[in-house]
Every structure is written in C-alpha cells, then in structure tokens.
Chains A and B, each alone.
Chain A
Amino acid sequence: MFFRRLNWNVVGWFTIVSNISYAVIGIGIAFMIYHYVTTGSIMKLGLSFTGGTDITVKFDDGAKTKPADVSVTKDQIAASLAKIGVTDEQITTISKPGDVGTPRWTIETQKDFGDQTAPLWSALGSTAHVDRSQSAISAVGPSLSHEYLLNAIKALVIAISIQFLYIAFRFGWNYIFGLVTVIALVRDSLMMIGIYAIANRRVDDAFLAAVLTVIGYSVMDTIVILDRIRENVKVLAGEPFDKIVNTSILQTMTRSVNTLATVVITLVALLALGGASLQNFAFALLVGICSGGYHSIFYSAPLVARFTEANRRRIRAHSSTAALEGGGPRTVAEARAQGGRKGPGRDEVIAARKLRRERERQAAERAAAPARYKKRRPDGTAATAGTLESEREDEHDDELRDYLEPEHAGHDAEMVDPLDAQNAGQHDRDYELGHEEINLNLEAVDAPHHAQPAHGPGEEHK
C-alpha cells in the first residue's frame, strides 16, 4: 500500500544486501570452525542422519496414585547409563510447565540399542522409578541413517531442478530468470545452514522439510516480482531496465511483506507455544521463510537487473568491436554467418527504429494524459519516460550509472507509475480479456542498442 509510494532505490542496495547475506554465511562458517575445534564436528546433525538414540525420560517415586517427583542429578543418570556401556551421551533437561520438581531429561547417544531397549529402561530405572507414560525413545539404526542422508540430498537436488525448469518454462525459457532463482535458492539454503550453525541447532528432518518448503515459497515470491518486471517492461517501455526492476519491486512489496507476515505470524505462534518437536519445525521454517523473503525481495530481482545489464553490455561491446574490426562483413556468406548472433540486420534496425518512434509517440500521449499518480519533480516539471529515454539515448552512457547518479542525467529517481501508462490506455485490451500472458521481451529494451552501431550516434561512439 505504502511501499509503492516510497522512493527506495532497492536495486541500488544490491551490494549491501548481497554482503549482508555473505556476512551471515561467513559468521556461520566461523561458528562451524569453532564447533569443529570444540566438538569435532562442524554441525550438529539430527538423529535420522547420524543414527543413534534419543531418549526423553521422566522420573518419579513410583507411587500408583499421584506420583511425586524425585530429584535426580545428571551424574546419577550418567552413572546408570555407564552400566550398560553408554558413555557418549549428552544429557540435558527440558523444563516443561507442570514439571515442578524434576524436569524431564533428554539423553542423546550414538549407541544403537537395536532390538533391546528394555535394558536401557531398567538401567535408568536404577536411578529412580521411570514414568514410562511421560517418557519417549526414538532410535535410528546406522544403515538407515545413511539412506536418509542420501534421500535428503536427492530430495534437494530434485526439488531445485524442478523449480528451475518450472521457472525457465514459465518465463519462456529465459535462462536469466531461472539462473537468478537458483542462485537465490542456493543462498537461502546457505544462509539457513549458517544460522543453524550460529544457533547451534541440530540439522534434522525438520530442517530438510523447511528447506524444501522454503524453496517453493521463495520461488513463488520471486516469480511474482519477475512477473511484474515482465509486465512493466511493456508498461514502462523506454525506462532504464533497473528502474523498471525497482518499480516492480516496490509495487509488489506490499504483497511480499503481507504474505510473509501471515506465515510468520503462524510460525511465531507455533514457536512460542508449541511442543518441543513443533518448535523444531517452526524454528526451521521461520529461519527459512525469512531468509527466503529477504533474498527474493532484495536480492533476486536486482540480480536480474544486474545480469540483464551485463548481458546488454556484452552485446554492445560485441557489436562495437565488430564495427571496429573493419566495418562489418565483407562477403555475403560472412554476413549470413554473423547475422545470427552479431550485429543486427537491416530489417532489425528498421524494426527497432519503428519501435522507438512508437514508444516516443506513446510517451507523448502519456504526458498528455491526466497525471493521477504522477510524482512531481523538484522543479515542478513533469518528466516522462519518453523524454528521459531520448536524452539518455544520445548520451550513450550506461543506464546503471545514470540511475545511480541522479545529477548526471537530471532524472532524480523520477518514477512514472505504471498506472499512468495504464491510464494512457495501453493495457485496456488486456483488461478486457481478463488476463493475458504478456511475453517478456527484453530484446525490446535492448533493441535500440542493437541498432546503435548501425545508425548515426553509434558511429560517433567508436
């Protein structure tokens, strides 16, 4: 609601955003090293991945009615376990409401009791009477734990591959969008692992579940923003691409924040009030959803701008070198060979010119249309995308610098609301049709640059 009115330059924050997530990952690695030095393993792994036994035990005095708590010390438990050959155990207490005197104890050990848990209970029972109705045990054999670990990795690879394919398919096999999403997913996962290392929590089933859920969730979040970019490429045709991206992020931010909020609300409730194993899930999901939200809003979309920018620069560098090398193809065959990938053909140049004129015409219309949501520039003149575009085109400067240095081209973060463009009647046909798939055509933005070496200003450039 209010995010779209903000003048945030989210795309410009890219470096900071990226560094923050690197920092979290870095601190995580530092903690891993610390854990390695102190405990010999970089992360705590959950029961299903290491094998072993987790025991929750509650002692009482064994009375039939209203058993009273008895006090048991950690050493007593350790001594009773040593009798049956358990020496690697970690004993902690979990205090729960209702356990006034003695809390429940949890014991974690690598030992596999296999078929026989009875000796374990009788050993514990030698300390004090064990209330089995308030105790629990879960054990995973070593052969199974390897399988679980393998399955977990398999699940991650499969899930990420499917999401990559879906994104690629969804955006017309545009590799940039697919790549960006996967990079963001990898960062999400690394950040989650980092936070787990910092919090020194066990990476368990719940963690895996969270990673898989978060992958789906943040892909969805990214898709919404990318969709808007794709739409705005049409609506805001002629704007610098990173400005389009920025506008798209701001327009979708309310949605991103609100969807994040509803999920976070429920997870916080679970974390605060749920039982132990529920808290495990809630923590993992909360960490994942937050880092997923962080990356999909502030990282993925700006990265698209970055990549597109780099791509465009590459194309431009390519065509200007071609021009330097001897003014284009010498033979017909050479021209054909180059035609596919290098400099634009005559038809393309004409098409690009047409497109540009059309855009200028539309921009003029837009300027004439009632400016409902248009922002005022400080000097009071209403700037339009069209004039900016023509100014910029003559300067041949790179859009990113233009954008980041407002004094340069004089367009101080002026943002034309897409609604203005809509007012100008651009999308009425789509509206009438309800929803129509809009093809992303980044080439439409690129087109003038393709064309540059061939027409006037491009020659000056070299």
Chain B
Amino acid sequence: MVHPFPEARGMWNKIKRPLGAVLLIVIVALCVWTITPIQQKVHLGLDLQGGVRVTLELEPSDTVKTITPDIQNQVVQVVDNRVNGLGVSEPVISRVGSNRILVELPGEKDVDKAIAQLKEVAVLDFKIVPPKVADRARTDLKYANDPNGAYKDSGAIVYTGAELKGAQAAFGQGGEPQINFQTKDPKKFGQLTQKYMGQQLGAFLDQKLVSDATIEGVITDSGLIHGSFTEDDVSRIANELNAGALPVPLKIIEQDQVGATLGKEDLQKSLVASAIGLTLVLLFMAFMYRLPGVLADIALIVYVVALLALLAFAHAVLTLPGIAGFVLSIGMAVDANVLIFERVKEELWDGKSLRSAVKIGFARAFSSVFDSHFTTIVGAGVLYLLGTGTVKGFAYTLFWGTAFSLITAVFITRFFMDVIVENDLVTNHKAYGA
C-alpha cells in the first residue's frame, strides 16, 4: 500500500508502540479497578455461597385454563414482591420457557421457609361469622382451620384481600403482633361495616379463620386484624397480602439447596486448584518457549484479570462449573500462543531473520488460531443455549473466556513481541526456543 502522507506514516510508526502501551495499561488498570475489592465485585453463585434455586412450573387452574405470557409476567411480579419481602441480597427471578419461572436466592439460610413463602397462595377473605361458629372456633382450633369447618359454615365472602391497598405488620397495645391494612374501596368497606354492624367479621387466611371481631363502628379506609399470630406470621402475611395473590398455583419441578458452609469449602478448594493450575501453565509456557513464553504468561495474566472484570461488569455469577470453564479456558488460552510460537520457531530454523520470523509466524498461525477459537465458541454457545442450569455457568465462562483469549493471546503477545524485536532488545535465537 502506498501511503499518501509518508511523513504522517513515520509519525504514526513512532507513536504507535507508546500509544499501544498506554492503551494496554489503561485497560488493565480499568479491569483491576472493576474487580477490586474482588469479594464484593465478583458475585458467587449459590453453589459457592449457599442458598437455594428453584424452578417453578405454573399450573393451569380452574379459573386460569392456559398459561399466557401475561400470567407468567404476573407471577414473576408477585414472586418478586414476595422475595423482596424476604430481604435476600441478590435474588434472581426470571422467566424460563413459557410456563416456568426460576428463582435464585443466594445466601438464604432458612430455605424451607423461603420456598414455602414463594409458593404460598395467600388468600384473604372477609366473611360474616355467625355467633355459633365463632364460639365453636374459639375453642376448637381444628374447626377454625378446617376449610370445611368454620370457613364453610360462615356466610358469603363480603370483601377480599385483593381489595386491600396495603398491609403492614404492627404491634397492638399489649405488644401482640397484628396486621394493619388499608382498603382500596373505602366506600364498599364502609357500607359493609354499616350493614353488618354488631355482627362478627371474620378474616380468613387461606380459608383458615385467623381473626374475628365484632364490628363496632363504620370502618372505611383502614383496619386491623389480630389473632394468635407470631411476629414471623404477621410479617409473612403482610408481605403476602402486599404482594397480591398468585394467579395460578406453582409447582416446584427442580431445586437446589446448598448449605452455606458447604459452598465455602468448595470455593476454597476450587480457588486453590485453579491457582495451582494457572501457575503450572505459566511455568510450562515459560519453560517451553522461553522469552515468548514469558510474554504469553503476562498476556495470560491480563486475560485472567480481564475475564474477571467482565464477570463483575456483566453481574454474572461465578459458579463451580463456571470455575471449571474458567480454568479450562486458561489452558486453552495459551493454545494460540503455542501455535504461533511453534510457527515462529520453524521460521527461525528456516533461517529467517527474527523480525520476519515473528511477523510471518503470527500471520500464518492466525487462521489456525481463529479456527480453534471458533470451534470452541460453537460448542460453548450451543451448550449455553441448550444446557441445564448448572452447565450454563460453565458454558458462559468458556464462551467469553475463549473470545477474550483471542485478543489477549494474539494481540497483546504480538505487541510485546513487536516491541522487543523491533528494538532489538533480545536478539539471541535461543531465547525464542529455536
């Protein structure tokens, strides 16, 4: 190519390398900044920090015959509200397919309770309870909790939980837990309380009588439910009332629960294993390829930092299979270097000058390097799309790792090699393994 402005090209050649060096340092600095402090920035999957993951299937009910995307969204929203009430730090709620949702609660300690709370269909009904039923329920707990007992024997539903604006856990005057609620339709509630003045208004939660009280005045916009609640109960019920009712029942079709300590142990072990693996690869490269090997090692370290930065930046979680993918990609990242350096050696044996050997080695090895990355990326991509939950993490890190290593192994190593070769810093062919 004939350059239109030879002086400009000269200039460019002069500043090309320093500019590259500055760019590289800036990128590495950015990456390091992104991942410090590493404990906070790189999120661990629940197999490493403990927690629970459930896949819930939406089951058609009598009222909702088919699961539409709308229903699915509604469920996601309700579950999201409920999960927020749990106080889990980084919950994940996502739609899977057309009739499932995936919920991940990393770090959740009391998994049984959490799961129960997710699926609970909290239905609050207000009914007028006849005195006879109220008396019996007061002494007979079984009767009060039996859907065919107190619930059935009471009258029609006069007001529902769906017509509440909000609910809060609170404490009564005696310090006993109670639920305060606000109505959406004060007029209706007002008329209702006026009509049934002096009678017993019962609150049924999931068809169990939880509280009944005599209506002593007209209530319009707010009221309270008190019964024999514990503190946990009221916060849970309030939470469920706020979140609204699930439109369809949910069924757990897959779940993973991991104890926190178990995850921590696995994390430590796999970190040690990965560090040793990385060190061995670094040593291997330095031993086999001398100077270029050391340069490739530097590129490899840049690669590790860059991939961690990507994970932190994309808010991806690192799982155990993810670590496997990461470590595998470390081993594969140097493939490109092996290809290139073997080629450079051949060119040197062939009597080529160092400069042209490096130039030709990189150029000629590139198609093979590209092949290797392409074929690996295809495998990882297919796995990501069709694999199960656990292998997705493996596919994710392998996919991005392979894509990243194409840049680090080829361009960063190339940059170092060019700087050294062009400035004749090391001219002994032995240093290049030839």
Binding site for B on A (CB under 8 A): 1, 48, 56, 58, 96, 98, 114-115, 117-118, 121, 131-141, 143-144, 148, 151-152, 154-155, 158-159, 162-163, 166, 170, 205-206, 208-209, 212-213, 215-217, 219-220, 223-224, 227, 251, 254-255, 258-259, 261-270, 272-278, 281-282, 285, 372-373, 419, 422-423, 431, 434-435, 437
Contacts and interface: CB of A to CB of B under 8 A. Distances in A.
B97 to A, nearest CB: 9
12 contacts: A117-B112, A121-B112, A138-B256, A140-B253, A158-B386, A163-B378, A215-B375, A227-B368, A269-B274, A269-B277, A278-B266, A435-B360
B269 A278 contact: yes
Contacts of A118: 112
Interface in B329-345: 330-332, 334-335, 338-339, 342, 345
B254 A223 contact: no
Contacts of A117: 112, 115, 255, 257
Given A255-B342, A270-B277, 8 more contacts: A141-B252, A141-B254, A158-B386, A159-B379, A223-B368, A227-B367, A262-B284, A435-B366
B376 A152 contact: no
Given A166-B375, A224-B371, A435-B364, A262 B387 contact: no
Contacts of A163: 375, 378
Contacts of B407: none
Contacts of A434: 359-360, 363-364
Nearest to B47: A277
A258 B332 CA distance: 11
Given A141-B252, A282-B324, A431-B360, A133 B266 contact: no
Contact of A419 (B262, B280, B350, B368): B350
Contacts of B385: 155
B330 to A, nearest CB: 6
A51 to B, nearest CB: 9
A139 B255 contact: yes
Nearest to A225: B368
Given A114-B252, A274-B270, A277-B321, A135 B259 contact: yes
B398 to A, nearest CB: 7
Nearest to B395: A209
A275 B270 contact: yes
Contact of A140 (B254, B351, B371): B254
A209 B259 contact: no
B331 A262 contact: yes
B251 interface: yes
Given A139-B255, A266-B281, A270-B324, A213 B380 contact: yes
B119 A224 contact: no
B284 A137 contact: no
Interface in B261-286: 261-262, 265-266, 269-270, 272-274, 276-278, 280-281, 284-285
A423 B253 CA distance: 67
Contacts of A275: 265-266, 269-270, 320
A217 B253 contact: no
Given A141-B254, A275-B269, A152 B368 contact: no
Contacts of B327: 266-267, 269-270
A431 B364 CA distance: 9
B371 A220 contact: yes
A154 B388 CA distance: 13
A435 B359 CA distance: 10
A143 B382 contact: no
Contacts of B257: 117, 135-138
A143 B258 CA distance: 23
A270 B329 CA distance: 13
Given A117-B112, A265-B281, A423-B350, A139 B382 contact: no
Contact of B374 (A155, A166, A281, A431): A166
A239 B351 CA distance: 24
A139 B53 CA distance: 10
Contacts of B345: 1
Contacts of B366: 435
Contacts of A121: 112
Nearest to A162: B378
Given A259-B338, A282-B324, A273 B273 contact: yes
B388 A205 contact: yes
A205 B387 contact: yes
B291 interface: no
A431 B347 CA distance: 10
Contacts of B367: 227, 435, 437
B331 A133 contact: no
Contact of B265 (A98, A138, A224, A262): A98
Interface string B352-395: 10001001100110111001101111111011011110110011
Contacts of A144: 55, 253-254
B162 interface: no
B379 A216 contact: yes
A78 to B, nearest CB: 22
A134 B57 CA distance: 28
Which residue, of A155, A206, A276, A285, has the highest number of chain B Cβ atoms within 10 A? A155
B177 interface: no
Nearest 9 A/B pairs, CB to CB: A216-B379, A269-B277, A434-B363, A275-B266, A141-B253, A266-B277, A273-B273, A263-B331, A220-B372
Contacts of B265: 96, 98, 275
Nearest to A158: B382
A285 B255 CA distance: 26
A373 to B, nearest CB: 7
A234 to B, nearest CB: 14
B88 interface: no
Contact of A159 (B50, B320, B382): B382
B300 to A, nearest CB: 10
B93 interface: no
B276 A269 contact: yes
By CB atoms of chain B within 10 A, which of A143, A212, A434 has the most?
A: A212
Contacts of B359: 434
A215 B351 contact: no
A139 B393 CA distance: 18
Contacts of B252: 114-115, 139, 141
B381 to A, nearest CB: 9
B157 interface: no
Contact of B331 (A138, A266, A373): A266
B371 A217 contact: no
Output the residue of B254, B321, B346, B349 with the most chain A CB within 10 A.
B254
A74 B385 CA distance: 40
B30 interface: no
Given A134-B259, A209-B387, A223-B371, A255 B338 contact: yes
A316 B334 CA distance: 45
Contact of A224 (B112, B266, B339, B388): B339
Contact of B386 (A137, A155, A213): A155
B401 to A, nearest CB: 11
Contacts of B342: 254-255, 258
Contacts of B433: 1
Nearest to A211: B379
Q: Which of A133, A268, A272 is most buried by chain B, counting CB atoms within 10 A of its CB?
A: A133
B260 interface: yes
Given A217-B375, A262-B335, A270-B273, A135 B320 contact: no
A263 B332 contact: yes
B295 interface: no
B356 A431 contact: yes
Given A118-B112, A133-B262, A151 B387 contact: yes
A206 B321 contact: yes
B144 interface: no
B343 to A, nearest CB: 9
B328 interface: yes
A261 B387 contact: no
Contact of A373 (B280, B335, B338, B349): B349
